[in-house]
Amino acid sequence: MEKKWWHKKCAYQIYPKSFLDTNGDGIGDLKGIINKLDYLKGLGVDFIWLSPVYPSPMKDNGYDISDYYGIDPAFGTMEEMDRLIAEAKKRDMGIIMDLVVNHSSDQHKWFREAVKNPEGKYGKYYYIMDGKDQNPPNNWRSYFGGSVWEKLPGYENKFYLHLFAKEQPDLNWENEELREEIYKMVNWWLEKGLAGFRIDAIINIKKDLTWQSFEADGPDGLCGIQNMLKNAKGVGVFLRELRDRCFRPHDAFTVGEVFDITEDQLEEFAGDNGYFSSMFAFGHCMTGHEGSYWHEYRPVDFKEWRARIFQDQVRTAGLVYESNIIENHDEPRGASNFIPEEDYGFPSVSALAAISILQHGLPFLYQGQEIGMTNCRFESIEEYDDISTKDCYQAAILAGLTKEEALESCYRYSRDNARTPMQWNSSKNAGFTAGTPWLKVNPNYRSINVAAQEKEYGSILNYYKRLLAFRKSEEYGDLFAYGSFQSAYEDTENILAFFREDDTKKILVLCNYSSKESSVVLKEEYNNIIFVNYPKVTQIGNTQKLLPYQLIVAEYEK
């Protein structure tokens, strides 16, 4: 693998709406992000990915963009965005924006023009098709439930395509004019000084142009979009053009949100000459995802989770530099998802952190992860804001679950778990806002918050700082970025372990990922311990004793 300028960096995702509100309207803003740049620098962050801050009717919290060249007044102004980019640069940090170009908002001027004149120029920016006797053209189900087809306002038999919400009409990438508009916009942002983009839902831009229906997979008579994705060939043509016209000339860092590709496409997407610099390693996040709705999911099984991590590390070795996460704005909190509730605490959260950060790939943190923020219980479905949560709740009720059971599945998997306001301190609303927060604050902010953890040497926050410094250190930075990955001690119960090795160094990350004490008979003796999450490390003969969730990083003679 070729060495790239961004390989030894660390990234952090901000969900702006929930990060820090500086004007008391209950919504986080760009000024809030500028205020916290030193905090992020101190944590060890080099790249900041902002979830969308463009003008938006907020039907999907900014993933429905009505103007690609602006900033939503709720977040601030373009001057503030320029200042954010400049202030970040001063600190040797890069800003990455979300590139949401599978769809626009239905309030974008292109779509409004398309409604006025479907046969005209802007009608061709979208997918507008005639129905079958006023019924939708086919039976594809949108990601947020219901048909992907919505009647074009004012027409009896014309429908437009939306793979996500009906307020998110899909853009027609087959149309060269539309593609040119997008490239112009991407270049405009890169010329402003952005470091790059996180690329939203990108696999969906290529459609199955036969528009065929598939066998229904639910009582609604519809079929999941995965069927059509399998039959949609040629997304690479668009992605290559996007790369060559925009990303390459600016040497931008890009990370794709890529689902539904096969193993043999990994290199094509994010290898040395891939469409993107990197892509998220989602495999382990899908542990237990059976069926399409949350109430069908099963809690994370340790062995399956570990196998998924290893599979991903092995198949990308030497080919792809993935971006590693334990959570994001669409996922439950990692500390709730990958740790049984009764085991939550410093040992488990710190172990999970090191397992993620010390793998091969780019470490990506999500806001609040660095203090161990958890899922949040909401009392009723009305308290939730997220469109996907409402859909999954409905599906659970339709499947015969009680309200309590349906709410329980939202507690486990709702996207709003990660979207509750950032917990800065123990004052009202966790110091997030002086007003009324747009979404409930997790009541555990009194004990889990940044201010308290900054004061405590042994906090999760200070541990994350040490962990990122270790990962990026002069001494071990190359090993973590480029060293090989080899799983270890898979036969010992509850152990998650792997070697990282290069020409000059060899280390073992060894963790007892359980609430019971454990021990490992070491096959090879190590030289010294270089990183820990417990003060004391006990070895008797060649047996390494491990307390609950104890993790050690040991170095070998080389």
**Which residues contribute to the site for Ca ion (CB under 5 A)?**
21, 23, 25, 27, 29
- Segments in 317-420 forming alpha helices (H): 334-337, 346-357, 387-398, 403-413
Annotated catalytic residue within 150, 167, 170, 200: 200
Residue 415: partners with Cβ closer than 8 Å, 6 or more residues away: 329, 330, 331, 386, 388, 389
In contact, 170 and 127? CB cutoff 8 Å:
yes
Task: Mark whether 251 is an active-site residue.
Answer: no
For the CB of residue 367, give the shortest distance to ligand TEU in the complex, in Å: 14
Residue closer to ligand TEU, measured from CB, 201 or 422:
201
Smallest distance from the beta carbon of 68 to ligand TEU, in angstroms? 14
- Do 96 and 195 contact (CB within 8 A), yes or no? yes
Q: Which of 283, 277, 233, 225 is nearest to 256 (CA)?
A: 277
Per-residue contact string for residues 326-355; x = within reach of ligand TEU by CB under 6 A: ---xx-------------------------
200 binds ligand TEU (CB under 6 A): yes
Q: Which of ligand TEU, Ca ion, none binds 302 (CB below 5-8 Å, type-dependent)?
A: none
100 binds, among Ca ion, ligand TEU, none (CB under 5 to 8 A by kind): ligand TEU
The contact pattern for ligand TEU, residues 215-254, with x = CB under 6 A and - = no contact, is ----------------------------------------
Q: Can 200 be counted among the known catalytic residues?
A: yes
Query: Footprint of ligand TEU on residues 86-105 (CB under 6 A)?
Result: 100
Q: How many helices (H) and strands (E) does the chain have?
A: 17, 19
- Partner from ligand TEU, Ca ion, none binding residue 63, C-beta < 5-8 Å depending on class: ligand TEU
Q: How far is the CB of 21 from Ca ion (least distance, A)?
A: 4
Could you tell me where the beta strands, DSSP code E, fall in 119-260? 128-130, 149-151, 158-161, 196-199, 253-256
- From CA 260, how far away is CA 235, in angstroms rounded? 12
Q: Give which of Ca ion, ligand TEU, none residue 143 binds (C-beta under 5 to 8 Å, depending on kind).
A: ligand TEU
Q: Which is nearer to ligand TEU, 324 or 514 (CB)?
A: 324
Least gap, CB of 201 to ligand TEU (angstroms):
4
For the CB of residue 42, give the shortest distance to ligand TEU in the complex, in Å: 28
The answer for residues whose C-beta is within 8 angstroms of residue 486's C-beta and 6 or more apart is 498, 499, 500, 501
Return d(Cα 49, Cα 277) in angstroms, integer: 14
What distance separates the 2 farthest-apart alpha carbons in the chain?
A: 80
CA angle 176, 65, 131 (to 5 degrees): 65
21 binds, among ligand TEU, Ca ion, none (CB under 5 to 8 A by kind): Ca ion
Q: Which of 84, 201, 223, 418 binds ligand TEU (CB under 6 A)?
A: 201
- DSSP one-letter code for 141: B
Residue 143 in the binding site for ligand TEU (CB under 6 A) = yes
Residue 63 within binding range of ligand TEU, rule CB under 6 A: yes
Name the residue whose CB lies closest to ligand TEU.
Answer: 63
Burial grade of 486 (CB within 10 A; 0-12, 13-18, 19 or more): middle
Handedness of CA 153, 156, 158, 163 (dihedral sign): positive
Residue 111 vs 485, nearer CB to ligand TEU: 111
Pick what 27 binds: ligand TEU, Ca ion, none; C-beta below 5 to 8 Å, kind-dependent.
Answer: Ca ion
68 binds, among ligand TEU, Ca ion, none (CB under 5 to 8 A by kind): none
User: Is residue 388 close enough to count as binding ligand TEU by CB under 6 A?
Assistant: yes
Q: Which is nearer to Ca ion, 17 or 500 (CB)?
A: 17
Q: Distance between CA atoms of 528 and 530, rounded to whole angstroms?
A: 6
Q: Is 281 exposed, middle or buried (0-12, 13-18, 19+ CB in 10 A)?
A: buried
Choosing from 167, 170, 257, 370, the catalytic residue is 257
User: What values do phi and psi take at 413, rounded to 5?
Assistant: -125, -5
Please give the Cα distance from 93 to 87 (Å, whole number): 8
Nearer to ligand TEU, 44 or 256 (CB): 256
Ramachandran sector of residue 375 (left: φ over 0; alpha: ψ -120 to 50; beta: rest)? beta
Residues found near ligand TEU in the complex (CB under 6 A): 60, 63, 100, 143, 164, 200-201, 257, 259, 329-330, 388, 415
Q: Which residues are catalytic?
A: 200, 257
